[in-house]
Chains A and B, each alone.
Chain A
Amino acid sequence: QKEVEQDPGPLSVPEGAIVSLNCTYSNSAFQYFMWYRQYSRKGPELLMYTYSSGNKEDGRFTAQVDKSSKYISLFIRDSQPSDSATYLCAMIRSYNTDKLIFGTGTRLQVFP
């Protein structure tokens, strides 16, 4: 079993739709959770970061962490064609000595 599972997609939605991207994980020791966005042929860029359970909102983006279910989500409201990219979840157990574990990424396409 992989430590982090993420549906690769592709997920295709019309402009203006609400998008839900998800990851599940197996290790309950993960504490820090991140979402990266990666445009084609580019390096990933950090989009959202959350610590432990709860929600975090930044503009059209909301990150949710449910540690009891070992489930994290990224919601995109009013999706735009410019949101078309691959979204990777990532998580880490402890700082300084641990390594970031990535999901395989979900490819999102927002069509006009």
Chain B
Amino acid sequence: SQTIHQWPATLVQPVGSPLSLECTVEGTSNPNLYWYRQAAGRGLQLLFYSVGIGQISSEVPQNLSASRPQDRQFILSSKKLLLSDSGFYLCAWLPRRGLNTGELFFGEGSRLTVL
């Protein structure tokens, strides 16, 4: 069966510090991978998506970046966090059947608080 792992679950970081959130998917190959951010009252905002190793598309210009060093690994990073980066970050993947439907499956999320 396919599963998605995301860590860390909770993170408290000072302004200006770096960030690294990691996501891995098991039980599938060459999935589409996504990073979303969920802020209170604002719904899910797509940040990055990737259709393959080294292929990253950015949806929102900001101080975050994403990388996909391996087929089933997706990393969200920042060199210097801002207060506005606080939120709930969700990794998601799209199964093959989802290419026809858009059904995304989400990880458990990483709650980031920037102080």
Question: Which A residues form the contact surface with B (CB < 8 A)?
Answer: 6, 8, 32, 34, 36, 41-46, 49, 51, 88, 90, 92, 95-96, 98-100, 102-105
Residues of B within 8 A of A102 (CB): 43-44
Q: A43, B101: Cβ atoms under 8 Å?
A: no
Q: Scoring B residues 78 to 115 as 1 if CB is less than 8 Å from chain A, else 0, what string do you get? A: 00000000000010100000011111111111010000
Taken together as a complex, chains A and B put the C-alpha atoms of A43 and B89 apart, in Å, by 9
Question: Which B residues form the contact surface with A (CB < 8 A)?
Answer: 6, 41-44, 46, 49, 59, 90, 92, 99-109, 111
Residues of A within 8 A of B107 (CB): 43
Q: B99, A99: Cβ atoms under 8 Å?
A: no
Extra pairs beyond A41-B111, A46-B105, A95-B101 (9, CB < 8 Å): A32-B102, A43-B6, A43-B106, A46-B103, A49-B101, A92-B102, A95-B99, A98-B102, A100-B104
User: Separation in Å of the B1 CB from the closest CB of chain A?
Assistant: 15
If A88-B43, A103-B43 touch, whether A49 touches B59 (CB-CB below 8 Å) is no
Q: B102, A34: Cβ atoms under 8 Å?
A: yes
If A42-B108, A42-B109, A44-B90 touch, whether A95 touches B43 (CB-CB below 8 Å) is no
Taken together as a complex, chains A and B put the C-alpha atoms of A96 and B49 apart, in Å, by 12
Residues of A within 8 A of B41 (CB): 8, 104
Q: A104, B109: Cβ atoms under 8 Å?
A: no
